[in-house]
Structures are given as C-alpha cells and as structure tokens.
A and B are shown apart, each in its own frame.
Chain A
C-alpha cells in the first residue's frame, strides 16, 4: 500500500482490499480511511464490485445520494441482520397506524366538545337550566382506553427502530441506542410477533415519556372520577353521535395518505380547514333534536 505524495492515505475500500488507492477511485470520497466499520458493513451486504456497478450505472451527480443510502442500508442490516430496512419500514407503518387511530379518537372527542359548545348557548336561549354536571357529555369520552394515552406518549419515540426480534440483538445485546428494545426483545423469541414489539417496547418506556402528557392524563382521570351520574340524556346524545360517526369517518379518511408512496405534502392547515368545514355542515335539526330530548328528560 503506497501513499500518493505522502499526504493522502488509501481509502477504507482500498485499504481493505490491499491495493493502491488511485485518484480516480470511485469509493474513496465515500469511505475515508477512518470509516472502516462503515465500509465493512457495506462490503458485507453489497460487495465492492456491486457497489461500483451501482455507481457506474448512475449519473455522477447522483453518486453521493446513492452512497448515502447504500451506507445507511448496510448499517441497518448490520444492526438488524434479519429484517434490515424492511423492519424499519414495517415499524414506521405501525407507528402511522397507531397515530391514525389516536388521531381518530381525539377528533371524535373534539367533535363532542364542539357539539356541547354549540348546545349550551342554545339551551340557555331557550330558558333551560344549564347542566349541573358540565362533564356529563364526556361519558363516551371517558370510555377512551387509557392505552391510547400511552400510545400518544410513546409516539415521541418515532424514528427509532427500537425493537426487533433479531438474533444479533438477542445474542449480543450490543445496541447502545436501543437498550430499551433489547431488554424487551429478550423476552420474545417468536418470529411472527415482532410487529407487537414496537408497541411493547415503547409501552414500557411510556412511564418516562408520560410526563409530557400529564395535563391530558389528569383530564382523563378527572373524567373517570366525576362520571358518577349517568343521566338519561347521555344515551340520547350518544345516539346522535353514533349517527354522525360514519360522516366523520369519511372526513378522517380524506386526511391521510397511508397508501400513497408520494411525499406527504399536504399541510396541516389544509387538513384542519377541511375538517372544520365538514363539521360545520352538520344539520342544525340534529342539535335541536338533542335539545328537545334534554328538555323532555329534565322535566321529571
């Protein structure tokens, strides 16, 4: 191995292959001499010849990005020899699913609040007594599983391929950044249950992240405690909400593009506006029906 003019050393690729690193070496810009592990990962997965083949099939302007993705893919494969990047993709899909479910749940709760927000002024106008328990309409809300809060708090762990049933994780326990997952994975060797692991792993770490959502957790606990007077009105109101659910389902479906592989470009503002406009289209007669039911049941 010789040095060129004594100033540059051979790249990691040429060092590994014990050959002279020429100035035109394709891999030299991407595998400096101090990144031996990165090169070893890439060489183990792709092989030098295959990497060079890929680069030669591309325009020189694309080499940097291609090498970046190759190194990333190889590094992920080194950490997760079984699933590699496919495992990361599946975990992201799972996170998206969890977030969507949680979002649907929160939207439905928000709609209930908005209905109540509109109902109270109309009841006051009709000369009716305001509800003694301002939280009565939250009966349905209190049924929201607390696990959803856990999943919300856990969604802060996005971007971590933190849990895979993987032989390397199971045997070596060498993950410095995924210590939570390795502790959880040791208890699970089922090959088909890996999808459950991200939730289990993040669920165990929820205690550390739940502090960020204490206000919402406090609200939830208050709802559970204060729900001691199941009024008849609740059933009537719930029925109205049930009738509205299919409508809201269509709203929610339009907001997400889980099946699309195109960049997710829709803005939060547009989706929020769309939701607001759709909710405003709720017919007013349903509000009046709810008010009428309330008046009939409160007379007794």
Chain B
C-alpha cells in the first residue's frame, strides 16, 4: 500500500491486513514494519481483533509489555501447539520443586553440623509422580487446577 502524505510506512499489522495504516492505529507503535513475523504469529494464534481489544483494556504505558508477552505466547504456541508456553512453566515449576527439596535437605545437614552431630544423612528420595488429576505429568503452578471449582467460587462469590 502506498503511504499517505504522512510519509510513514504502514505498520506490520496494517501491511498484513492490507489496510491503510491510520495515524491512530493501535498496532503501529508495537508492530513495526521491520518485524512482520511478530504480528503474523500473534494474528494467527489470537487474531487481530482480540489483540486490539486486549490492548484497549490496558493502559498505554503497559501496552508494549502486553504485546511482547502476546508475541512470546504466540510463538510458543506455534512451536508447541499442544502445550504452548505452559510447557515451559511446567518444566520450571519442577525445577523449583526439586531445588527446594535439595535446599531443605542441605539445610538439614547444615543444622546437624552446626551442633557437631553425625555426618549428613542421605538426601531425600525423589518425589513420587505428580498428584492425581494430572495425567500428563504436567504441573500447573498457578492456583488453578480445577476450572470448575474456581468457576463455582466466582459465581457464588459474585463478580
């Protein structure tokens, strides 16, 4: 598309959508024409209208962060259509749990040495498989394992 008298090239979003890039285009500041893939990914996963609505709900000074997080999630979903970025969350959560256990065991040893007690005990056994309800073994760290419970809580508590 030819640029208007403003002599500015259309943003990646308007280029992709093949429309005129207006001065007040909400996508323009965050989807420069040099990064066409960024908007392409976001549009493929979330859709331009959804992204536009999300950006409108966010204060202007936080929109760039919002766009970057959406771009990250879109790219992750394209690479892993099943788990998306949630796969990374699960892996990291396991690391945290393992590190915490090791730290607990080491602190226990340190406590024993502090009083010149017996040599350190063996470290604890690896944890058993994940709890019931997680057939895939994935660990969803956020306090949301049962959508029905949370949904019922919200509806009963009143929005």
Contact = CB atoms under 8 A, between A and B. Distances in A.
Contacts, number: 217
Interface in A95-115: 95-96, 99-100, 102-103, 106-107, 109-110, 113-114
Main secondary structure of the interface of B (DSSP, over half): helix
Most buried by B among A49, A88, A156, A266: A88
The interface residues of chain A, by DSSP majority, are classed as helix
Contact of B111 (A37, A82, A155, A215): A215
Interface in B113-159: 113-114, 116, 119-120, 122-126, 136, 138, 140-144, 147-148, 150-155, 157
A95 B1 CA distance: 48
B99 to A, nearest CB: 4
Given A38-B147, A84-B73, A191-B65, A65 B96 contact: no
Nearest to B64: A191
B85 interface: yes
A73 interface: yes
A271 to B, nearest CB: 7
Interface residues of B, number: 75
A158 interface: yes
B126 A216 contact: no
Interface of A: 32, 34-38, 44-47, 49-50, 54, 57-58, 62, 65-66, 68-73, 75-76, 81-89, 92-93, 95-96, 99-100, 102-103, 106-107, 109-110, 113-114, 117, 134, 152, 155-156, 158-161, 166-167, 176-177, 191, 213, 215-216, 219, 256-258, 261-264, 266-269, 271-272
Given A99-B103, A155-B100, 10 more contacts: A38-B150, A44-B50, A45-B46, A81-B57, A86-B73, A92-B96, A152-B103, A191-B62, A264-B91, A268-B126
Interface of B: 44-47, 49-50, 53-54, 57-59, 61-62, 65-66, 68-70, 72-73, 77, 81-89, 91-103, 105-107, 109-111, 113-114, 116, 119-120, 122-126, 136, 138, 140-144, 147-148, 150-155, 157
